[in-house]
Copies of this chain bind each other. A is one copy, B any other.
Amino acid sequence: MNTKELCLGALFLGDASGYEIKQRFETTFSHFQKASFAAIYPALTHLKTEGLVSAHVEIQEKRPDKTVYSLTETGHQHFIDALHASDGAESFRSDFVLLMFFADQLSAEKVTAVLERQEQTLRQAIEALTAIRNACRHNKGALFTIDYGIAVKQASLTFIEQHKAAFTSKDASL
């Protein structure tokens, strides 16, 4: 799923400007997809050309005007089709794991810093998911993804907490 299709998905949750779509990526979709402004704005332009979204300008006082996009019927159908066409592939890349793989080549301080950073990142992610969980309680699928995210991140965190001693304590016995 590329940025264009993901924008359709974001608009599926309701009409939005490019700016607001970005916010959806940073909250609702944050734990499994991401997109930057420089990817979103051109994507919306293309989608409009293709007739998958329609747009109207909303004039605001004390705020810049914004272009609000809506899914057209074609766009709606296109998104559902894209979902059915997807096989649900995932991609994961982790420099954290790479660093731990080569932990014995790193200084003790670096290893400690890496482990602490990862713990903090995981705790913040769990917090963020918990914070938006309530807003998704009406949607079975959305709730599943939130709880799935929390469960997986919690498992990562617990593993690190239980195994970091082997790297941080002076006693470096396996």
Contact = CB atoms under 8 A, between A and B. Distances in A.
Q: How many copies does the complex hold?
A: 2
Contacts of A172: 140
Given A102-B12, A104-B140, A148 B33 contact: no
A87 B117 contact: yes
A90 interface: yes
A34 B151 contact: no
A39 interface: no
B84 A107 contact: yes
A155 interface: yes
B117 A99 contact: no
A162 to B, nearest CB: 9
A135 interface: no
A139 B174 CA distance: 9
Contacts of A49: none
Given A32-B98, A152-B155, A174-B140, A106 B93 contact: no
Interface of A: 1, 6, 9, 12, 29, 31-34, 80, 83-84, 86-107, 110, 114, 117-118, 121, 139-145, 147-149, 151-152, 154-156, 158-160, 163, 166-167, 172, 174
9 contacts: A29-B101, A88-B95, A91-B93, A97-B148, A100-B141, A101-B142, A102-B141, A140-B167, A151-B156
